[in-house]
Amino acid sequence: MSRCLLVALAALFTALACSATTPHPTPLAAAPASESLREEPPHVAALPEFVPPVAGRQVLNNGLTLLTLERRRLPIASAAIVIKSGAGEDPAALPGLAGFLAEALRAGTESRTADEIADELETRGATLAVSVDQDAMTLSFTTLTENFDAVLAVVADLLMHPAFKPEELERVRRKRLAALRQEQDDPSRIASRVFRAVLYGGHPYGHTALGKLEAITKLGRADLERFYAAHLRPANAALVIVGPYTGAEAGAKAEAQLGAWRGRPGVTAPPPAAVDGTPQIAVVDRPGAPQSEIRVGHLGLSRSHPDYFPVMMCNAILGGVFNSRINMNLREEKGITYGAFSSFELWRSRGVFGVGAGIVTKATATAVAEVIREIARMRDTDVGADELAGAKERYALSLPSSFENVNAIAGNIASLYLHDLPLDYFRTVAAEIRKVTVADVRRVAQAHLRPAQLSVVVVGDATAVAETLSILDRGGITHFDASGEIHKGPPSP
Amino acid sequence: MIFAALPILVGLFAAPDAAPLTIPYERYVLAQNGLEVILHQDHDLPVVAVNIWYHAGPKNEAPGRTGFAHLFEHLMFQGSKHVKDDEHFKRLESAGASLVNGTTDFDRTNYLENVPANQLPLALWLESDRMGFLLDTLTQAKLDNQRDVVMNERRQSVENTPYGLSDEKVMQTLFPPEHPYFGDVIGSMDDLKAATLDDVRDFFNRYYSPANATLVLAGDFDADAAKALIERYFGTLPRRPTPTARHIETPAITKERRAVVKEPVGLPRVVLAWLSAPAFAPGDADADVLAFILGSGRASRLHKRLVYDLEIATQVAVSQESLALTSVFRVVVVGRPGVDASRLEAETQAVLDAIKKEAPSAREVERARNQLVTRMVTALQLSGGFSGRAEMLNRYNQYLGEPDFFAKDIARYRDVTPQSVRAFALSLLETDHRAVVVTVPTP
């Protein structure tokens, strides 16, 4: 198994594919024989402005939005069906319902068994991903074009005609209960689950798509059917197709496979904005753990917030990329982590600002204190002009690189639909980024980074970290168990 | 592997509308120092993927120095004579680069970045400086810091991750301690602690010479301009000795080896592992197809039987890890809560026995092949990163000497038949020839 220098990060800005750009010569200089040519980094020519293409939009008679982009490089195509309802729409008593439903879709239709679905998709080389997050349920796949129509037909069938057979639902239930148990073995996933619970409490964003044991145990077919009728509707969904098809060709495919899908009109509204609770220190005990998984953060913004671009630049300087302040401090100066990063997760309703890292146990409190210090520094002083310039170019100039593959392009177009962004959004990104000033970053840091509101989650050896964490002055430690519930019994010895 | 060949032009530039499944390239060797260069132009997007393979890795570590090749890789990002300590990432990120990384695998070490097309000179300046002048600014402080970072990486990915120690144990059970594939690439804490500055200098001088590396550019550049830049930045590096290949014996396993690992997890896990056909050798493609038939997707045999029908497993994974000296064929089964590991093993064994007894159906082979080919074409879209065209060119070049092996690679899978899969399964899946690692949950 290979080892990487750093863990991969999700790009903050993703983008659409472009057709062709003009080749341009690289500037030449006479090669001196000595080392002097190395003294200074090379001067480079300006990059010609890159103009991303724009997806086409159609609406089927049943209300389904169709977004298409023609891409003819290789005999390969991607499709994504994105539904504007996710785990954030789970009823309060049934956290995990949307995730359960997504799994149940592949467990059989009126005309196909679970086995037949798997066989038909996989024999055509397709891996169908069905994912659920706070805001959306997404079914996506990539296939060679010779298989595209057949695979889309199967996916449409499981979306439109799920059977929800009792014996299959019991199978799904047992599988998800086992997955819930398995999640409790992974410190990083425990930390993310508890972090969510601490920040959101009972808000619909406060649980993961996997949900909670009690809900998975008790939910029934009627619950699935209610959620299905309320949310899995053509007017609440978009089909994205990226491949060697014109808009008309893609339109015919969509009409043929999904034209008969029916449901009531209207788009599901996002949950109401969450409200800040009392900041706290939450610890999940893993006796003897060599590392603490830490999360530090508070409630943040929705994707529609007008401060989006300055906030992204603020995050890039604070902790969004390798060269950011938090990673340079904790990894390159102190050597107490393999990597530490911050993010603003921006959802349809109010999201999260958070910092995450795995920290060598003995340095846990140091790391938390340094993270809080770096957050405060963003508010208290202006960022350097060169720091901001680097962050801006990092994102403005790297757009083309995320335009290469149909699967990524389809995902990017799906995100435009989910967040109600204009289809020419990616043409505006570079200019919007370049407008951000040092003063903007300071302003948004003061508005959206709130040190006094920071909660801390530590999954690690409680005995080893308890005393040092107490210096953080957050009113004591709350002990959680690995399932994300407040620990009721006595603390572990 | 180094090719002292003159420039040869292979393939034609693909028409944008109907690109064939090839990676057209030009390959040559710098006369000044032996650096091998492979150029693949593609003007679709204004991006160039830069990817250097040093033909060195854990296979070149000295005894008692596990993890050294990977630790060394980290030091390559800490500055060199003309590049300040923190400048590599800073300059690349602020130039709009993405996928900046390095990886160490058993047979090689690679360094990569995607840069906007106009920034190719920056990438070549950075890469050539660390190839030529790494040692000039090496310090004990840098070594100590990156040693700490790597020890944290080991904690994060091996010690504090479910089944990390068990995975390491698999490779420690298959191979003797002196073998380069023993354990995890990341090495042991004790060996990492023992690494010295002299080790770093010695490793650089032996294995990081231009003649032991291949530079691939894939993307939007002008070939003449790129060659001139390569002359400028790499052609001015002195020639250094080429390392001689070390002969390594891989002892066969003749009697089943079993190990038990206790981990703080709730679910038991069983791994069955065999030494199998080396990368691209006869049997390697059969092994991939067998792995998919057994464990890839919900229609695969182990998923169908253990996860769906019996409901005794939560996950199955079967893989052929293709490597130069020997590959590793691995069956991994994670149990449901309360299921006994011996039951998992017995039911897994029954599935393996069945495929030895009777060849898979033509549809099963087709299913595996179509999944493999779809995955390959999906990767072909990308210029860089861990799986795109630049990486493929270097991988095919090191293992086969044929950078554009893509179509032939697909043909390897087209040649696999139900009979060849069964024959391979019969020859491989012997109880006496395997390692078994059982993870026992600890409360």
Minimal-distance CA residue of chain A relative to B20:
A74
Contact B220 A290 (CB under 8 A): no
Q: What is the CATH number of domain B24-234?
A: 3.30.830.10
Mutate to test the interface with A, among B54, B71, B118, B126 (most CBs of A within 10 A): B118
Contact A398 B97 (CB under 8 A): yes
Contact B298 A24 (CB under 8 A): no
- Residue numbers in B near A401 (CB within 8 A): 45, 47, 98-99, 114, 116, 384
Look at residues B187, B186, B61, B201 and name the one whose alpha carbon lies nearest to residue B140: B201
- ipTM of model: 0.93
| Cα A193 to Cα A182: distance, rounded to the nearest angstrom | 13
- Residue numbers in A near B119 (CB within 8 A): 44, 47
Nearest to A126 among B122, B148, B374 (CB): B374
Contact A119 B46 (CB under 8 A): no
- Residue numbers in A near B47 (CB within 8 A): 400-401, 404
Share of chain A above pLDDT 70, in %: 91
Tens of pLDDT, residue by residue over B125-161, are 999 999 999 999 999 999 999 999 999 999 999 999 9
- What is the architecture of the domain spanning A56-258? 2-Layer Sandwich (3.30)
Chain A contact present for B20, CB below 8 A:
no
State residue B283's pLDDT score: 97
Under the banding of pLDDT at 50, 70 and 90, the label for residue A493 is very low
Q: Tell me whether strands A76-83 and A237-243 are parallel, antiparallel or unpaired.
A: antiparallel
| Cα B147 to Cα B196: distance, rounded to the nearest angstrom | 10
Tens of pLDDT, residue by residue over B219-241, are 999 999 999 999 999 999 999 99
**Segments in B155-250 forming alpha helices (H):** 164-174, 189-194, 197-207, 223-233
**B257 pairs with which residues across the strands?**
B435
Minimal-distance CA residue of chain A relative to B128:
A38
CB atoms within 10 A of CB A373: 14
Contact A74 B308 (CB under 8 A): no
Mutate to test the interface with B, among A5, A71, A72, A321 (most CBs of B within 10 A): A5
Residues written for chain A: 493
- Residue numbers in B near A410 (CB within 8 A): none
Tens of pLDDT, residue by residue over A448-467, are 999 999 999 999 999 988 87
| Cα B424 to Cα B274: distance, rounded to the nearest angstrom | 12
Assigned token pair, B53: 């393979």
- Checking if the pLDDT of A27 tops 50, the result is no
Minimal-distance CA residue of chain B relative to A327:
B149
Q: What is the mean pLDDT of residues A283-303?
A: 96
Minimal-distance CA residue of chain B relative to A285:
B264
**B327 pairs with which residues across the strands?**
B276
Q: What amino acid is encoded at B351 in this protein?
A: V
Contact B122 A41 (CB under 8 A): yes
Nearest to A23 among B128, B152, B222 (CB): B222
Domain ranges of chain B: 24-234, 257-441
Angle made by CA atoms B98, A400, B371, in degrees to the nearest 5: 80
Contact A335 B152 (CB under 8 A): yes
CA distance B123 to chain A (A): 9
- Residue numbers in B near A144 (CB within 8 A): 370, 373-374, 377
Contact A390 B90 (CB under 8 A): yes
Under the banding of pLDDT at 50, 70 and 90, the label for residue B28 is very high
- What is the architecture of the domain spanning A281-480? 2-Layer Sandwich (3.30)
Tens of pLDDT, residue by residue over A114-131, are 999 999 999 999 999 999
- Residue numbers in B near A187 (CB within 8 A): 160-161
Please classify residue B117 by burial: count the beta carbons closer than 10 Å to its beta carbon, then call 0-12 exposed, 13-18 middle and 19+ buried.
buried
Please classify residue A84 by burial: count the beta carbons closer than 10 Å to its beta carbon, then call 0-12 exposed, 13-18 middle and 19+ buried.
buried
Tens of pLDDT, residue by residue over B247-294, are 899 999 999 999 999 999 999 999 999 999 999 999 999 999 999 999
Share of chain B above pLDDT 90, in %: 91
Spell out the CATH class of B257-441.
alpha beta
Mutate to test the interface with A, among B107, B155, B170 (most CBs of A within 10 A): B155
Cβ-Cβ pairs closer than 8 A, A with B, add up to: 303
- Residue numbers in B near A337 (CB within 8 A): 149, 152
Under the banding of pLDDT at 50, 70 and 90, the label for residue A486 is confident
- Residue numbers in A near B337 (CB within 8 A): 178, 181
| Cα B19 to Cα B13: distance, rounded to the nearest angstrom | 9
Contact B117 A24 (CB under 8 A): yes
Q: What is the mean pLDDT of residues A174-196?
A: 96
State residue B2's pLDDT score: 25
| Cα A424 to Cα A69: distance, rounded to the nearest angstrom | 12
Q: What are phi and psi of B361, to 5 degrees?
A: -75, 160
- Residue numbers in B near A142 (CB within 8 A): 374, 378
Residues 323-382 (B) with a CB less than 8 A from some CB of A: 334, 336-337, 363, 366-367, 370-371, 373-374, 377-378, 380-382
The helix/strand/coil state of B151 is helix
State residue A402's pLDDT score: 78
| Cα A267 to Cα B44: distance, rounded to the nearest angstrom | 37
| Cα A274 to Cα A453: distance, rounded to the nearest angstrom | 14
DSSP B203: H
Contact A394 B265 (CB under 8 A): no
CA distance B256 to chain A (A): 23
Minimal-distance CA residue of chain B relative to A394:
B96
Query: Mean pLDDT score of chain A, rounded to an integer?
Result: 91
| Cα A239 to Cα B273: distance, rounded to the nearest angstrom | 42
Q: Which residues are CB-neighbours of B338 under 8 A, at least 6 positions away? A: none
Q: What are phi and psi of A461, to 5 degrees?
A: -75, 105
- Checking if the pLDDT of A153 tops 80, the result is yes
Minimal-distance CA residue of chain B relative to A398:
B96
Residues 403-432 (B) with a CB less than 8 A from some CB of A: none
State residue A53's pLDDT score: 86
pTM > 0.90: yes or no:
yes
